[in-house]
Structures are given as structure tokens and as C-alpha cells.
Structure 1
Amino acid sequence: MLKKVIYILAIVLIFVIIFGERNLNNIQLSKESALHTKTVETQSKANSFSSKLTSGKPVTIVFLGDYVTSDDSLPDGNLNHVALLANWFNKNYPDQVKIINAGMNANTVSHMKKRVQSDVLKHVPDLVVISAGLNDAVGAWKIPVKEYATNYQAIVEAIVATGDTEVVIRTPNPTTSVEENVEMKSYIQASRELTEHEKVYLFDFYQVMADDIHAKNISQLELMQNKLHPNIKGQAYLAEQFKMYFTSELIQP
């Protein structure tokens, strides 16, 4: 009986050793796989907008949007947020950043979709900043939110499909009308959901400005030229918030 017990224990011990070695091999393979994955991610990040900018390489940024983005968004040739950001980049990264303003008055995402190749992709940008929603939600067109989301997604996918180009979705500013802000909610949410895509970031300017208004940090009426569009002060405010976003969220040292 004792010999039988010893025999069984010996067999069990052999199985423990064999399965132990197999498990050890699996653990080692997992570590190698994890290391390989990290290496691939590091190589991918080496071509990112942030890494190229901080390493001194030239980068191109395209701002795609509507009237708020366009060069003619302010009277008398005053600088809007895109031009102010261009000056800021040139000061901090001299002769390194090329900024292209592809904003156009009265544009919806349907209009932007039609010109994404000619006005955006042909410049081979490292980063594309897109802002849409005002005209779609509360402008003259009243684009259904489902159509808005579909066209916006098509724009984003066309850009990221090119390879190394990254995208920032900027939500539009709140209007001075409570009713129109309610109308915009579903469009804002659709914009936020687009950032679930790889290489797509969110600058939720709508929320930033709304929080400042509710906290009474700013007076919205002092920042608007009409119920939809920022004035000179509003554009400067947008530029400052953009700088904070770039330096805290997108540009990594």
C-alpha cells in the first residue's frame, strides 16, 4: 500500500513539474509580447505631432472649420484665434510650424467633407483641427444630427487613413441663446463621440466656455459679436484656451 502511494505521488510530482515548465514558458512569452508591443507603440509615437514638434522637426497644422475659424471672422483685419495661435507657435517654435487656415464662412460638415481633399489632405498635415456644429445645428441649414455625425465621421476617417496625421475635434462655442444651446446638445455629443477613434483628440471648448460663464469668470456678452460668433475678445479667449489645451494635453515634453 505504501509503495502504491509513493508511486502515485511520484506521478503527480512529474505532472506538476511538466505543467510548471509550460506555465513558465507562457509567462516568458507574455513578457516578450508585452515588450514587443511597447516597442511598436514607441515607434508609432516617434512620428506623432508632439514628438516631431518637440524634437525640432517641421510640422504642418490645418484648421478646418466654419466662419469662426475663417480668416474673415473678425472686422478690420483683426487676428482671430488661428492667426493668434500661428504667432504663438512661431514665437515658441520659430520657423518650424506651418499653419493653414481652411475655415470657410457658412460651412457645415457637408461642405467641409467636399473640400477635405483639396483644402486639407493636399497639404499633408501632421495635425488637423476641426470645428463644426454651429451652422449644422442652429444655422440656416439645420442639418439632421444623424447626417451631421455621418459626414463628420467621414471627414475624420479620411484624414486618419492617410497614416500619421492626427486630429483634434474642437467643439463650438456656446451661443447666447439658451434654446439654441439646447438644440446644439446632440451635435456636441456627436462631436465628442468621434474622439473614440484612434489618433483623434477632443478639445471641448463648448464645455470650457460654458463652465467659465457659469462660474462668472467671463461675461459671454462681452465676448460675442452676435448670438453665434465670438468678437475680438472672444477670439482671443479661444486662442488662450487653445494654448492651454496644446501645452497640457497634446504637446508632451
Structure 2
Amino acid sequence: MDRQNPLAHVKGSDQPLTWTFIGDSVTAGTWHTYGARSYPELFAERMREMARTADVFINTAVSGWTVYELDRHLDRIALRFSPDLVVVGIGLNDTRLGTAGLAGFSATYRRVVRGLREGAGSTVVVQTPNDTLSTAPRHVVDHLPRYAEEIRAVAADTRAPLVDHYAAWTDPEAPAPEHWYAMGCHPGAHGHRAMARTLLDAFGAWDPASRTGRLAIP
């Protein structure tokens, strides 16, 4: 299993795979999408377009959760499914603890990655959160950049594939337009499409000519 290249694991197996998405409200795709599909749903659709019709996609993300809930409930939200690949989306709510919480966040995130690998042999894909509007909670606005940096460090230290949504949304040459957001720090329909594209790019699976790809991101 190639932890640095998750697509190699996908393409290298004709066996059905089990995917688990764990994290907070963004990954859960709660009401901020206003009925539109979330990025995990769009990702699953693209995998099926690639003939992975027997794969199972399980989303156990919970609104309001932090990395500490992931660690505490890892068996319930992931290990019981014996997932082949786990996509983690966490960090926005952890910013409530400010810079004083960075060390604990980092240590717990590493424990989650280790627990998934040791408990289920999973390939773990680490993601930074999307960026935030200035109208988001102050703790997110003030501390999200540092938490994104810490997630990158976790990915590097654990040799986990990194999907850097935060970098994509804060690209100085093409920053995220306001209509990618539903409110505050939550992406809306366009934001989830942007996140799906970034995730698919990381897997080498983005194709603008595909049905999923034709969901252009204005």
C-alpha cells in the first residue's frame, strides 16, 4: 500500500474498497449546502464514473466535532468498517483553543492517524480546512492559518497524503471567491465543488470532460 500515493492503491486493486470520511460539519455536508451535494458525495460520484461501482462510501462526520472527538470515537466512526481509505477533514472547531491548543491538536491528530493504520490498516488522507470569511467566528479567523500549518506538519511527519484545501482557497493569484461560502467558515454548493476538485486532483482523478468535471466551478 502506497501511503504517499493513494491513487496507486485505488488503481492497483480490482477489489471493492471501503472509504470512510470523518470530520466536522464541512465533511458532513450539513444544511449549509442547501440541498446541494457535498464534496464527499461528488468524490464518490467520480469514483463510480471511474468504474469503481462496488466501492462503499461512508460519511460519519459530525457537526461541531474536533480532533478529540475523532480520537475518542475512532472505533465507532471508522474502525468498525475496516476502511481501506480514510479521508479526514477536521480543524475548524479546534481553533477555539487558540495557539495554546496547537500542541494537543497535533499530538491527537497523530494518534488518530496511527489508530487508523494500526486498527484497520487504512490509508489515511489528511486535509487542511477551507479558508474562512471575516464574518466567521473570531477564533477561526485568528487561528486557522496556524492550524493549517500544523495539519501540514502532521501529514509530513506521518507520511500521509495531504490535500491542501486551505492553500487552494488562499492562493494569492486566485483566492476563493465569496460565493464559495454559504456563511462564515462554511462552504456552500460552489465551495464543495471546489473542494471535490482539489481532492480529486490529489488522486489524479479530476477530469473536466467527465460528468463530475462538467460541474464547472465559476
> Could you state the TM-score of these two structures normalised by the residue count of structure 1?
0.71
Q: Which residue of 2 aligns with 1:27?
A: none
**Correspondent of 2:173 among 199, 207, 215:** 215
Aligned equivalent of 1:240: 197
Asked if the contact 1:109–1:132 (Cα under 8 Å) also holds between the matched residues in 2, the reply is yes
Cα distance, 1:166 vs structure 2: 0.9
Is 1:93 aligned with 2:89?
Answer: no
Equivalent residue pairs, number:
199
- In structure 2, relative to structure 1, the CA distance for the partners of 1:75 and 1:188 (3 Å cut) is closer
* Alignment-derived partner of residue 160 in structure 1: 117
SS of 2:130's partner is coil
Please name the residue that 1:82 is paired with. Answer: 40
Matched, 1:122 2:85: no
Instruction: Supply the distance in 2 between the matched residues of 1:78 and 1:90 (Cα, whole angstroms).
Output: 19
CA contact (8 A) 1:149 1:191 kept: yes
Cα contact 2:33–2:182 (8 A) shared by 1:
no
Match of 1:185 in 2: 145
Q: CA RMSD in A?
A: 2.5
* CA–CA separation in structure 1 for the residues paired with 2:26 and 2:120: 28
Over residues 65-93 of structure 1, what are the superposed CA-to-partner deviations in whole Å (9 max), with x where a residue is unaligned? 10000042445432110111111111112
Identity, in percent, stands at 23
Q: Secondary structure at the match of 2:186?
A: coil
Report the CA distance shift for 1:218/1:188 in structure 2 as closer, same or farther (over 3 A): closer
User: Do structure 1's residue 137 and structure 2's residue 87 form an aligned pair?
Assistant: no
Q: Distance in 2 between matches of 1:129 and 1:177?
A: 27
- Separation in 2 of the partners of 1:73 and 1:150? 31
CA apart distance, 1:112? 1.4
Q: How far 1:51 sits from its partner (Å)?
A: 4.3
**Partner of 2:24 in structure 1?**
66
Q: Gapped runs of 5+ residues in structure 2?
A: 207-218
Deviation at 1:96, TM superposition (A): 3.0
Which whole-Å CA distance do the structure 1 matches of 2:15 and 2:115 have between them?
Answer: 24
Contact 1:60/1:127 (CA < 8 Å) preserved in 2? Answer: yes
Q: CA deviation at 1:186?
A: 2.2
Instruction: Point out where structure 1 has 5 or more consecutive residues left out of the alignment.
Output: 1-43
The residue type equivalent to 2:30 in the other structure is D
Which shifted more, 193-202 or 110-119? 193-202
Is the 1:66–1:106 contact (alpha carbons within 8 Å) kept by the matching residues of 2?
yes
Normalising by structure 2, we get a TM-score of 0.81
Aligned: 1:230 with 2:190: no
Rg larger in 1 or in 2? 1
Aligned partner of residue 126 in structure 2, secondary structure: strand
Q: Distance in 2 between matches of 1:156 and 1:191?
A: 12
Does the C-alpha gap of structure 1 residues 222 and 53 become closer, same or farther in structure 2, counting only changes over 3 Å?
Answer: same
Q: How far did 1:94 drift?
A: 3.6
1:14-69 deviation digits (Å, cap 9, x = unpaired): xxxxxxxxxxxxxxxxxxxxxxxxxxxxxx55xx8544522322111111110000
Q: Report the Cα distance in structure 1 between the residues aligned to 2:33 and 2:195, rounded to whole angstroms.
A: 17
Distance 1:119 1:226, change over 3 A: same
